[in-house]
């Protein structure tokens, strides 16, 4: 295949639906990095994230007929498959069991709890303490407890867009406080 080959989204979908392997290689070459970024944001273990990414592309190959261009772009459809696969992996029993097997020296939080808080942790907690209660809770759930925006939305009964806006606002405030 010519490395400079490009496809319109419509051509790419049509070729994928015809099970064209060159089009699938093109898809992987052009989208795997972005989809890996989505997966790796949820699944922090590189090896597991790579496995999830592989499963994402298998699912894309299997489910391409279900893609409906009237509902959104191909990338958005693939992004949702990747995000859902990553969330499913994190929620799975196997993933949770592997977290239980992490050796103690690798876990800095536990080591810090035994020897006392690190100076940076104290400073971060002070800065977080300056946020309004609701914003502090959202940042804590999202970044320290690993909840997705959707999970936060359901747990707190807040619309998804509001969750995203408030987290963005909190991060802007934190950035200002730190500088």
Compute CA distances 134 → 122, 126, 128, 146, 165, whole Å.
Answer: 20, 16, 11, 17, 12
Print the domain residue range for 80.
Answer: 9-98
Domain count across the chain: 2
Compute CA distances 15 → 7, 23, 81, 141, 167, whole Å.
Answer: 9, 6, 19, 42, 40
Examine the domain organization and report whether 28 and 78 are in the same domain: yes
Which residues, other chains included, contact 170 with Cβ-Cβ below 8 Å and sequence gap of 6+? 131, 135, 136, 138, 139
> Residue 108: what pLDDT?
45
Examine the domain organization and report whether 54 and 86 are in the same domain: yes
Of 31-40, 64-73, 147-156, which gets the smallest average pLDDT? 147-156
Which residues, other chains included, contact 94 with Cβ-Cβ below 8 Å and sequence gap of 6+? none
Q: State pLDDT tens for residues 111-157.
A: 444 444 444 445 666 777 777 777 877 887 787 667 788 888 887 77
Examine the domain organization and report whether 93 and 131 are in the same domain: no
Domain boundary among 69, 98, 127: 98
Q: What is the CATH number of the domain that holds 82?
A: 1.10.1740.10
Examine the domain organization and report whether 71 and 130 are in the same domain: no
Examine the domain organization and report whether 93 and 138 are in the same domain: no
Q: Average model confidence (pLDDT) for the chain?
A: 80
CA 8 vs. chain centroid, Å, equals: 27
How many Cβ atoms from other residues are within 10 Å of residue 135's Cβ? Answer: 18
How many Cβ atoms from other residues are within 10 Å of residue 68's Cβ? Answer: 8
Percent of the chain whose pLDDT exceeds 70: 78
Examine the domain organization and report whether 85 and 149 are in the same domain: no
Q: Does a structural domain hold residue 54?
A: yes
Q: What is the CATH number of the domain that holds 169?
A: 1.10.10.10
Give the pTM.
0.53
Q: State pLDDT tens for residues 13-31.
A: 999 999 999 999 999 999 9
Examine the domain organization and report whether 32 and 62 are in the same domain: yes
What stretch of H or E contains 35?
helix 21-42
Q: State pLDDT tens for residues 164-179.
A: 999 899 888 888 887 7
> Residue 123: what pLDDT?
60
Examine the domain organization and report whether 94 and 140 are in the same domain: no
Examine the domain organization and report whether 31 and 94 are in the same domain: yes
**Radius of gyration of the chain from its Cα atoms, rounded to whole angstroms:** 20
Examine the domain organization and report whether 94 and 17 are in the same domain: yes
Q: Does a structural domain hold residue 113?
A: no
- Kindly provide the b/e burial profile for residues 50-59, where b requires at least 16 CB atoms within 10 angstroms of the residue's own CB: eebbebbbee
Averaged pLDDT for residues 69-86: 91
Examine the domain organization and report whether 25 and 69 are in the same domain: yes
> Residue 157: what pLDDT?
79
Examine the domain organization and report whether 132 and 64 are in the same domain: no
């Amino acid at each position: 295949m010519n490395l400079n080959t490009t496809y319109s989204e419509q051509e790419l979908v049509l070729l994928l639906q015809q099970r064209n392997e060159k089009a699938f290689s093109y898809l992987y070459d052009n989208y795997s990095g972005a989809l890996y970024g989505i997966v790796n944001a949820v699944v922090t273990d590189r090896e597991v994230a790579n496995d999830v990414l592989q499963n994402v592309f298998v699912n894309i190959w299997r489910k391409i007929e279900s893609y409906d261009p009237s509902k959104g772009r191909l990338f958005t459809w693939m992004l949702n498959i990747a995000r859902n696969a990553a969330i499913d992996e994190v929620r799975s029993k196997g993933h949770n069991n592997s977290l239980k097997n992490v050796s103690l020296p690798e876990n800095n939080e536990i080591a810090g709890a035994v020897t006392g808080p690190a100076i940076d942790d104290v400073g971060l907690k002070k800065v977080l303490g300056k946020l309004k209660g609701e914003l502090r809770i959202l940042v804590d759930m999202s970044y320290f407890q690993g909840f997705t925006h959707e999970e936060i939305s359901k747990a707190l009964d807040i619309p998804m867009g509001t969750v995203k806006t408030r987290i963005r606002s909190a991060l802007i405030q934190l950035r200002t406080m730190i500088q």
